[in-house]
Amino acid sequence: MNTAPEQKITIDWKPDKSDNRPMYRQIVDYMSEMIASGHWAIGSRLPSQRSLAQQFGVNRSTITTAMEELSSYGVLGGDFGRGTYVTSNTWSLMMSAAPPDWGTYIRSGSFKPNVPTIQAINKLEFVEGYIRLGTGELAPELFPKKAMEDVLGRLSSQIPSLNYLEPLGLPQLREALARRLQAQGIPATPSSILITSGSLQALQLISLCMLQPGSCVYTESPSYLKSLQVFQSAGMKLHGLPMDNHGLVYWNLPPSSLQQGRSLLYTIPTFHNPTGTLMTQKRREELFRFCQNNRLPIIEDDAYGELWFDETPPKPMKTMDRSGLILYLGTISKTLAPGMRIGWLVGPETVIERLGDVKMQIDYGASSLSQWALKEFLESGLYDLHLTRVRQQLKKRRDLALNALNTHFGDIATWNIPQGSFYIWLRLPARLSTDRLFTKALEKNLLINPGSIYDYEKNTALRLSYAYAAEDKLEQGIASLAQVVRSML
Amino acid sequence: MNTAPEQKITIDWKPDKSDNRPMYRQIVDYMSEMIASGHWAIGSRLPSQRSLAQQFGVNRSTITTAMEELSSYGVLGGDFGRGTYVTSNTWSLMMSAAPPDWGTYIRSGSFKPNVPTIQAINKLEFVEGYIRLGTGELAPELFPKKAMEDVLGRLSSQIPSLNYLEPLGLPQLREALARRLQAQGIPATPSSILITSGSLQALQLISLCMLQPGSCVYTESPSYLKSLQVFQSAGMKLHGLPMDNHGLVYWNLPPSSLQQGRSLLYTIPTFHNPTGTLMTQKRREELFRFCQNNRLPIIEDDAYGELWFDETPPKPMKTMDRSGLILYLGTISKTLAPGMRIGWLVGPETVIERLGDVKMQIDYGASSLSQWALKEFLESGLYDLHLTRVRQQLKKRRDLALNALNTHFGDIATWNIPQGSFYIWLRLPARLSTDRLFTKALEKNLLINPGSIYDYEKNTALRLSYAYAAEDKLEQGIASLAQVVRSML
């Protein structure tokens, strides 16, 4: 109980009958304010309920209700009959002790946190001094600064305003993309294309719009998709299917296990992330036929298809699709600028319309500035010029990485020789713990992407990317990584 | 059964034992290919199972399994013992009849469709010829084209690359925003700010991360939030609280109904959407204290605070917040360019970190091009110059709209006089159906936003916006709308 010297308080206030707050609420608010502002110091004694009732011109039960509420906050105490005291200053109380229980809130949502390794990577990528050997994006020096300057220069006079766009995205961009897709053999029209904030958002939209909880998404094992929580957070299950050198081993998926309307297949046929595998034309045809026969819709993620080195890869499966089986995902995140956050989803118009409607409800569309910039990149021809350069540079980097691997890892690891894109799947001895390797590598300022992030079962591989680190750092990093690995064997 | 003339087929193929597909799968794939390609015409008769087994060098049960699968697709038929025929060409079958059942898929997701009126508005806004009397964005002519040109010009040399950004967004932008917020009295630091793709995405993130299904979100009634499905789709309930001229009537929310950790209050205290109401300083203090006492976290949406006309409005409630009770939302969507899709969420660092982690998993961050552009707008002073102009122009438009209302609606409606922002809440006679009015107005090329979109109960108000339509169209549109209303009374 309060032991401070007793202080009396004065009251020159009355409830306002024209105020539409109830009387008891006005009294709670008034007293809170007096206490919070310090006008009624801690230890002050309040008049009796009877005299307060008289002074305020209200029933005594109104005073009781108000005081009980204040008492429940811990700011009043004592015996309401004989003496009531200010026991705490709400403001100081609140400041020190009673913020909302955010811990409960942030553990409550359905969306799962990233796995700790990915959280660490997401942060450490922005700490200076690490050699990033796993990063799935182009090196800053491959960004076409000059072309972007040109594009921004041309744009300023074209942009009428940057208002909200229609649900599917900037029409001029969808037209430019449709022409590009058609030239590739994909019969896309502007109304079958939804512009998304990167392919990742396309997946998020599919998870929100197209599957019930408990549905299954089949993917290659390992798969980029496994590193995300997008489907699991919406209550879907991921199932990994094995791969061989020709791509996804679809015959390991028994048709009898497929539930109509509750299954999807996600695949990256061209330069698969994380293994770099290129699905052969034959496998594409077989897989497509298998899915068509089983009415299993496909999400074909073609993020890397334009990044071939010596010869163009087999065409996307979407080129075979006459019945609208495939939702095809394209993006500039791997070829030009992930920060622009632009991808596109091509599919049947009913699907596109539904996804577009929901996109309007979750973020009102992708950046129109980015959309204008990409439209100009495509139409000016600057994008294709840039692609030519990026292919050459990536091939050079691949060769550099392969040389370094031959020199430093020849006797302790195996790997694929990628025909395009960013990734080498570096298989290390089975006795190695890549979790420990992650930590040990950090000590040497090396940031790596352990294969376990992407896999359904334990593995001892790394996703090595030759796209990001500066060329000299890439060599140095591989050499240094080999030392760390050797020290652990 | 098949009645086409009987055709025999020839087979010069065998399963490949070095192929790692199972035998039965190889046979299914081979036969599918023969049928799909037309090599085996419809009506062709297959050899007996026994002779196929012999020819392929497999068990008869392997043939049975393969044929059963093909039969289940409808491409083979007949009596497997005596005669099996090609009954359909999968390709033509699939093309005409068997796309996946997308209808089932698009009805399966958890995210609800927009209400039909909003879907109609979202589409009609991009059809030429309508006068948009409800649109909540600035007119294209208020877009600062010249300033944007300057900004893009300055940017080209600054952008080192447009790679992925760190989870909370471009550091330079968060620093510029922190300075701006501090000047307003909000003690924000760069690490307490998350850049979002508009405020809408902030709400989407909160719905994914911070509330269990069944939790309650309290809002003003009517409220912008009611026009969205973002919380309901995640299984939360919305509850409307009445408003008076001073703002939200918090005393209608009995503290006993609040469940710790499962409740949030969403409010737009400054120039409320859709009613234009400005919450008084006194009500802000009371509401804040009420929420603090009841540990009820607040989402304070301050999209419109900078758009005052004659005097600055009371400061955001966030300026009172020392315990981290408030998640504060800011945006440039209403002041500058919604198409840039940039908003910011200010809150306790634990919350910001959790939301940032999930943002990385749903779209990898907001457009970095937009973030750079906004940073430059803020730092160059061009944003503040633009605000001054926008305030003047909006005030002029408000007066124009009020004049037109006085002339045409004086005897049939009532409305507020907004002190800032875009909206007039036009209350029409109770016997009017605003759904019918929506349709009738369309016939006169008027696009309106019926108040019912925003409300918890039936109303006969419209959200009139004087921000979008060209000035002459605005006057003309209001006159024309009055005619439609009169014709319905």
Q: List pLDDT tens digits, range A166-218.
A: 999 999 999 999 999 999 999 899 999 999 999 999 999 999 999 988 999 99
ω into B418 cis (within 30 of 0): no
The answer to whether A156 faces chain B, any CB pair under 8 Å, is yes
pLDDT of B94 strictly over 50: no
What's phi and psi for A240, nearest 5 deg? -90, 135
Q: B243-244 and B247-248: which strand pairing? A: antiparallel
Per residue in B228-275, pLDDT (tens digit) is 999 999 999 999 999 999 999 999 998 888 888 889 999 999 999 999
pLDDT of A93 strictly over 60: no
For B311-335, what is the mean pLDDT? 95
| Angle, vertex CA B150, rays to CA B160 and CA B135, nearest 5 | 105
Least confident of A88-97, A467-476, B254-263, B302-311: A88-97
Res. A3 pLDDT band, cuts 50 70 90: very low
Q: Which two tokens stand for residue B229?
A: 């499905």
Residue in A149, A261, A339 closest to B367 by CB: A339
Per residue in B105-164, pLDDT (tens digit) is 888 888 888 888 999 998 899 999 999 999 999 999 999 999 999 999 999 888 989 999
Q: Per this entry, what is the length of chain A?
A: 489
Please, are residues B216 and B237 in contact by the beta-carbon 8 Å criterion? Answer: yes
pLDDT value for A282: 93
Kindly provide the ipTM of the predicted complex, given to two decimals.
0.86
The answer to whether B125 faces chain A, any CB pair under 8 Å, is yes
pLDDT value for B82: 65
Residue type, A10: T
pLDDT value for B7: 61
**Between B368-380 and B145-156, two packed helices, what is the crossing angle to 10 degrees?**
110
The answer to whether A15 faces chain B, any CB pair under 8 Å, is no
In angstroms and rounded to an integer, the radius of gyration of the C-alpha atoms of chain A is 31
Helices and strands (H and E) in chain B: how many: 16, 18
Beta strand spans in B361-466 (E): 423-427, 446-447, 449-450, 461-465
pLDDT of A472 strictly over 70: yes
* Inter-chain touch B251–A25, beta carbons under 8 Å: yes
The answer to whether B358 faces chain A, any CB pair under 8 Å, is yes
Res. B433 pLDDT band, cuts 50 70 90: very high
Q: Between A and B, how many residue pairs show a Cβ–Cβ distance under 8 A? A: 365
Q: A76-79 and B237-241: which strand pairing? A: unpaired
- The DSSP bridge partners found for residue B196 are B343
Q: How far apart are CA A165 and CA A194, in angstroms?
A: 12
Helices and strands (H and E) in chain A: how many: 15, 18
pLDDT value for B377: 97
What's phi and psi for A250, nearest 5 deg? -70, -25
pLDDT value for A85: 85
Least confident of A403-417, B116-130, B416-430: B116-130
Q: How far apart are CA B43 and CA B2, in angstroms?
A: 6
Question: In chain A, which residue's Cα lies nearest the Cα of B196?
Answer: A363
Per residue in A309-366, pLDDT (tens digit) is 999 999 999 999 988 899 999 999 999 999 999 999 999 998 999 999 999 999 999 9
Task: Please give, rounded to a whole number of angstroms, the shortest distance from the CA of B47 to a CA of chain A.
Answer: 23
pLDDT value for B479: 98
* Inter-chain touch B289–A20, beta carbons under 8 Å: no
Res. B3 pLDDT band, cuts 50 70 90: very low
Question: In chain B, which residue's Cα lies nearest the Cα of A337?
Answer: B162
Per residue in A52-87, pLDDT (tens digit) is 998 899 999 899 888 887 877 778 887 655 688 888
Look at phi and psi of residue B341 and say left if phi exceeds 0, alpha if psi is from -120 to 50, else beta: left
Q: What is the edge-to-edge ordering of all strands in the sheet holding A461-465?
A: A423-427, A461-465, A449-450
pLDDT value for A73: 72
Give contacts of B367 with chain A, Cβ < 8 Å: 197, 339-341, 366-367, 369-370
Question: In chain A, which residue's Cα lies nearest the Cα of B89?
Answer: A293
Please, are residues A175 and A222 in contact by the beta-carbon 8 Å criterion? Answer: no
Least confident of A298-312, A444-458, B98-112: B98-112
What percentage of residues in chain A have a pLDDT greater than 70? Answer: 95
> What are chain B's domains?
7-97 (1.10.10.10), 143-380 (3.40.640.10), 385-488 (3.90.1150.10)
Q: Which two tokens stand for residue A485?
A: 């690995």
| Residue A320 CA: distances (Å) to CA of A264, A300, A383, B177, B256 | 18, 12, 26, 49, 61
pLDDT value for A338: 96
* Inter-chain touch B104–A137, beta carbons under 8 Å: no
Residue A100 burial class via C-beta count within 10 angstroms: exposed 0-12, middle 13-18, buried 19 and up: buried
Q: How far apart are CA A14 and CA A214, in angstroms?
A: 60
* Inter-chain touch B341–A366, beta carbons under 8 Å: yes
Higher model confidence: residue B100 or residue A285?
A285
Nearest-CA neighbor of A463 among A429, A424, A434?
A: A424
Can you spell out the DSSP letters for B431-454? Answer: T--HHHHHHHHHHTTEE-EEGGGG
Least confident of B91-100, B211-220, B281-290: B91-100
Nearest-CA neighbor of A209 among B112, B100, B364?
A: B112
Surface of A (62-101) touching B: CB under 8 A: 69, 73, 90-91, 94-95, 98-101
For A428-445, what is the mean pLDDT? 95
Nearest-CA neighbor of A351 among B98, B101, B118?
A: B101
For A268-284, what is the mean pLDDT? 97
pLDDT of A25 strictly over 90: no
Residue type, B160: P
What's phi and psi for B69, nearest 5 deg? -65, -45
For B353-372, what is the mean pLDDT? 94
Higher model confidence: residue A38 or residue B81?
A38
Least confident of A97-101, B7-11, B177-181: A97-101
Q: Is the Cα dihedral A144, A145, A147, A148 positive or negative?
A: positive
Q: Is the Cα dihedral A118, A123, A125, A131 positive or negative?
A: negative
Write out B13-80 in H/E/C secondary structure: CCCCCCCCCCHHHHHHHHHHHHHHCCCCCCCEEECCHHHHHHHHCCCHHHHHHHHHHHHHCCCEEEEC
Q: Which two tokens stand for residue B21?
A: 């597909």
For B371-375, what is the mean pLDDT? 98
* Inter-chain touch B338–A164, beta carbons under 8 Å: yes
Higher model confidence: residue A253 or residue B99?
A253
Q: How far apart are CA A147 and CA A154, in angstroms?
A: 11
Q: How far apart are CA A82 and CA A46, in angstroms?
A: 10
Residue type, A326: I
* Inter-chain touch A324–B361, beta carbons under 8 Å: no
Please, are residues A9 and A45 in contact by the beta-carbon 8 Å criterion? Answer: yes
pLDDT value for A49: 87
Q: How far apart are CA B425 and CA B232, in angstroms?
A: 25
Question: In chain B, which residue's Cα lies nearest the Cα of A163?
Answer: B339
pTM: predicted TM-score of the whole model, two decimal places:
0.86
Question: In chain A, which residue's Cα lies nearest the Cα of B336?
Answer: A162
Please, are residues A56 and A14 in contact by the beta-carbon 8 Å criterion? Answer: yes
Q: Considering chain A, what is the average pLDDT of its residues? A: 91
For A471-478, what is the mean pLDDT? 97
Please, are residues B2 and B87 in contact by the beta-carbon 8 Å criterion? Answer: yes
B461 CB-side CA count, 13 A: 25
Least confident of A33-42, A50-59, B79-88: B79-88
